[in-house]
Structure 1
Amino acid sequence: MIITKTREELKLMHESAQIVSKTLGMIAKEVKPGVTTLHLDKLAEEFIRDHGAVPGFLGLYDFPNTLCVSPNAQVVHGIPNNKPLVEGDIVSIDCGAVKNQYYGDHAYTFEVGEVDDDVKKLIKVTKASLYKGIAQFVEGNRVGDVGYAIQKYTEQHGYGVVRELVGHGLGKTMHEDPQMPNYGKRGRGKKFVEGMTVAIEPMINMGTKRIKQLPDGWTILTSDGKPSIHFEHDVALINGQPRLLSTFDYVHEALGIKTDEEDPFRLDISLL
């Protein structure tokens, strides 16, 4: 069942999402060769708690940490550890926070130093596909329209779209209806209605779409060992249009990135 949100609830979700956005912005300054992912995890937990929220992932389904940190061929759900990042790595950092009973949940893939050109392209295409999908999250469209947009854009570059892991509705629980696959057929699936809130999160592999799981029961990685990229935004349907509850502005500021990619979807808080 799809749980629509009131304007007051959307304000609370925006606040939670922005805490995650600021956490990722803080982490962006710390991602560098020699840093361990467990160190990043500790920084994130402290930052979230200092901002009046609690980590959304810690203990959820018995997950042991605040961040899911997934380098290189890991797709998602990587567990932070004491292995230092090295020059040329990429690392997806997925973060959640709960405040006023509502979740924020989004992810960004970072470059560690200088990465190969083919990896840079995969990052660029995956990030662009996120906004291709968000653009289809309009009133009257369906789940398949978002998935089709992401799939078409990424597969035309020869990349693999992960099937087993999907985006999702978001609210007082981390995973609400509907599931939001990154593949699909136009006009199929549940219809989008005013007040819906979803996490759209393309997970795109350089090679095969196939994945496997490590014995830790969490870490998902590509079956061919090639890199995977993950980006995620929290989006609300307001006045029939997609509006971002989250933002990468803090990450972009930390990394010196200039972009207008979020502009078509920015939330005017006065609408709430």
Structure 2
Amino acid sequence: MAIIQKTREEIELMRESALVVSRTLGMLAGEVKPGVTTLYLDKLAEDYIRSQDAIPGFLGLYDFPNTLCMSPNEQVVHGIPNDKPLVEGDIISIDCGAIKNGFYGDHAYTFEVGEVSPEVKKLLEVTKQSLYVGIEQLKVGNRVGDVGYAIQKFTEDHGYGVVRELVGHGLGTTMHEDPEMPNYGKRGRGKKFVEGMVVAIEPMTNMGTRNIKQHNDGWTITTRDNQPSAHFEHDVAIVDGKPELLSTFAYIYKALGIESDEETPFRQQALVL
């Protein structure tokens, strides 16, 4: 398969799709609390996405039954929403997709439910930092292995396991385009990055080993040692040879009262909330 390069106009349409997802996650940020069920959050997300003149990107994709992938604690990704309430100290990865203007947005954040342990908080922070370490390497002339190597080295230097079987991906009019974007690799290996490409970069980091297992529902992935796992994802384009964020955590941070300038190096234009 070949990398599908997008025009500037298409990238701006994809930014709209990504920001639908960003606003959805921002709306959910204020709702993630002990006692809330993931099915309730899923319904909120579906209604909100449709209110934005968009449609849920995951619902029915490969026969997935819901709008959100909701993966608490030891679940890595692809968890199915259910009626079990969240409890104090949980973490939950919320992965969301939306289709607007014919393009996909695909974006994830791992939320704290109430107060979490310092060890879990560090896992989340390192995983999120590794996302930006990877994004730094998304520039014309570099290769897929440069992003994977950067994420892997940063994460493993902190003593965490990097999931191998699940990867980021190209993004466009379909959810999964070329190239695959592993969170591990060797520098200088893999497909070369080109102007106008758009990818979803999404480190998945385990507190214990990198080993995972798939459950009988055909979707849910958990760590094999049942240790917690974290997951963060951004949509990123290459514009003028450099990485340009299309998605943002700013809506989440606004809802949670968090101040951050982590995205500033990856924005060539100001984000207006």
Matches within 5 A, 1:1-272: 1-268=2-269
User: How many Å apart are 1:144 and its aligned residue?
Assistant: 0.3
| Secondary structure in structure 1 of the residue aligned to 2:79 | coil
| Secondary structure in structure 2 of the residue aligned to 1:31 | coil
User: How many Å apart are 1:269 and its aligned residue?
Assistant: 7.2
User: How many Å apart are 1:92 and its aligned residue?
Assistant: 0.1
CA distance in 2, matches of 1:267, 1:198: 17
User: How many Å apart are 1:268 and its aligned residue?
Assistant: 1.6
Runs of 4+ aligned structure 1 residues displaced above 3 Å come to: none
CA distance in 2, matches of 1:269, 1:174: 26
CA distance in 1, matches of 2:270, 2:140: 19
| Secondary structure in structure 1 of the residue aligned to 2:199 | strand
User: How many Å apart are 1:148 and its aligned residue?
Assistant: 0.4
CA distance in 2, matches of 1:100, 1:125: 34
Letter in 2 for 1:85: L
User: How many Å apart are 1:77 and its aligned residue?
Assistant: 0.1
| Secondary structure in structure 2 of the residue aligned to 1:103 | strand
TM-score (norm. length: structure 2): 0.98
CA distance in 1, matches of 2:44, 2:165: 30
CA distance in 2, matches of 1:57, 1:51: 16
CA distance in 2, matches of 1:66, 1:267: 31
Report how many residues are paired: 270
CA distance in 2, matches of 1:213, 1:257: 34
Contact 1:194 1:237 in 2 (8 A): yes
Consecutive unaligned residues of structure 1, counting only runs of 5 or more, are none
Cα distance per residue 1:4-25 (max 9 Å; x no partner):
0001101110000000000000
CA distance in 1, matches of 2:268, 2:67: 27
CA distance in 2, matches of 1:135, 1:124: 17
Contact 1:16 1:103 in 2 (8 A): yes
Contact 1:162 1:205 in 2 (8 A): yes
CA distance in 2, matches of 1:241, 1:53: 28
User: How many Å apart are 1:267 and its aligned residue?
Assistant: 4.0
CA distance in 1, matches of 2:184, 2:101: 33
CA distance in 1, matches of 2:259, 2:267: 16
Contact 1:48 1:54 in 2 (8 A): yes
Letter in 2 for 1:78: G
User: How many Å apart are 1:266 and its aligned residue?
Assistant: 1.4
Please give the root-mean-square deviation of Cα atoms over the aligned residues, in Å.
0.9
| Secondary structure in structure 1 of the residue aligned to 2:35 | coil
Contact 1:13 1:171 in 2 (8 A): yes
Contact 1:245 1:267 in 2 (8 A): no
CA distance in 1, matches of 2:260, 2:16: 23
Distance 1:114 1:269, change over 3 A: closer
| Secondary structure in structure 1 of the residue aligned to 2:12 | helix
CA distance in 1, matches of 2:270, 2:126: 29
User: How many Å apart are 1:198 and its aligned residue?
Assistant: 0.1
